[in-house]
Structure 1
């Protein structure tokens, strides 16, 4: 089997797009990225076009597969090789105008794992990036995959709308893991040009955590596993590349009531004021001389009497 993957030359057996997947609604999974390369050099001296999938992990950096960036000889390179390489972010329907299209201006190869990081020429705002997983995946764990690849093995054009499917971790190796489709069909599987697509989990608060990156597998659609690179084993390297590239925090709203704000800050989170009567303890009372105890008792009785009278007045 020969599969033409991503932004390089045709190679044997590497990875893919989502066959038998669901179409993704507009605005869903905005961190998904389509990487488009126009004018890739070929060994014969010509040019061709191709694409990959990726995931936004910070305002300027995309996580994808290393083999998405190769020269005419098929060697992985830490640079773009096409005449033009762009990233479409936040756009489930590629014919629409949601999100942004930015140029990829820098590539960092991991060197061992089939993972690369691509830097954009401008930051993406208004989209929450994927969070990097730090824990070892578990066999049987359920994850989701999104991609912009082909939906059949013999396709010649990628679909205009992003696809998604559910997968289960079937094996866990030192740096990779196997995943098999479970929904919407048992043979839901990544296809050509889904390379670099993120396998992720979804939390109740909307946080998406990326566990793996599509690397290689059989022609689609198929039963059984594809291979993905584990993110937890390379998370330290990823952080060393993107460093402090994080989304800016929004500025707090202005206010014209500094005194009120200071008062709220002073009382926010403070323990409720205790009732003075309830705060007396038997130990403390035992330490008070008898005369003083009697005096205190008279004071308390007067206080309770006044409270009852005051209460009657409020009910009238």
Structure 2
């Protein structure tokens, strides 16, 4: 399994990207669920995705924002020129274990960013919980800014959306998603480098809600890479911590 934390990449817009592999194989989008997606960069070269859940509150993966670095949100103007916006505070779930993450075991891979100002042109998505039980074949949507070609940072930076289905034995600790066409056996849609922390949506009666974050990926048949399986940390065990942290920051959900 590949941990999707980040490598050094320019925040300038990519040029074009092939339509194979990952979330990057999904359609570029700036509307719908994509309106809550933000780009997170760190002073050590981090490049990750986050989901806006309140005007100044971003949900992401804990492994995207380790201590010892400064983090910013990338904001684009009307001409798609990037600028950096300050992150006021970072909170990592106390149950997160980097060693477990490095060993590809389930852990509390969730974190919150408090922004200094609300990003322009963005709209928060509703925070929710996955329907229980989570069944094989259940449909989810992921939206991220990761690369479309593994190892090519220039192919990242565009918000792309893809629909995936649950496989294996989904539960409250981890959900594994695959492209419904290839079922993880051949290259298809899925998360890749830079999609860590990407919001995972499930459709509810009132519309899509964020029920988890992207944590890792594999290539087809569990090999290294992308385009096979996408590992998701569901919010079932962590939503209360998210709400309590938001309340401490005065950013009620």
| Partner Cα distance (1:34, 1:94) in 2 | 16
Matched, 1:81 2:51: no
Partner of 1:181: 179
Matched, 1:36 2:61: no
* Change in CA separation of 1:153 and 1:119 when aligned onto 2, cut-off 3 Å: same
| Partner Cα distance (2:62, 2:143) in 1 | 18
* Change in CA separation of 1:94 and 1:20 when aligned onto 2, cut-off 3 Å: farther
* Change in CA separation of 1:242 and 1:164 when aligned onto 2, cut-off 3 Å: same
Structure number with larger C-alpha Rg: 1
Contact 1:20 1:184 survives alignment (8 Å): no
Map Cα deviations across residues 236-264 of structure 1 (whole Å, 9 max, x no partner): 110000015248xxxxxxxxxxxxxxxxx
Partner of 1:149: 146
Consecutive unaligned residues of structure 1, counting only runs of 5 or more, are: 9-15, 41-48, 71-76, 248-316
Matched, 1:23 2:28: yes
| Partner Cα distance (1:94, 1:159) in 2 | 19
Contact 1:17 1:148 survives alignment (8 Å): no
Q: Give SS of 1:29's match.
A: helix
Partner of 2:170: 172
Consecutive unaligned residues of structure 2, counting only runs of 5 or more, are: 9-20, 96-107, 219-223
* Change in CA separation of 1:204 and 1:107 when aligned onto 2, cut-off 3 Å: same
Contact 1:143 1:167 survives alignment (8 Å): yes
Q: Return the match for 2:242 from 238, 241, 253.
A: 238
- For residues 300-315 of structure 1, the aligned pairs below 5 Å read none
Matched, 1:107 2:107: no
- For residues 283-294 of structure 1, the aligned pairs below 5 Å read none
Contact 1:189 1:220 survives alignment (8 Å): no
Partner of 1:6: 6
| Partner Cα distance (1:175, 1:94) in 2 | 40
* Change in CA separation of 1:136 and 1:6 when aligned onto 2, cut-off 3 Å: farther
Partner of 2:61: 65
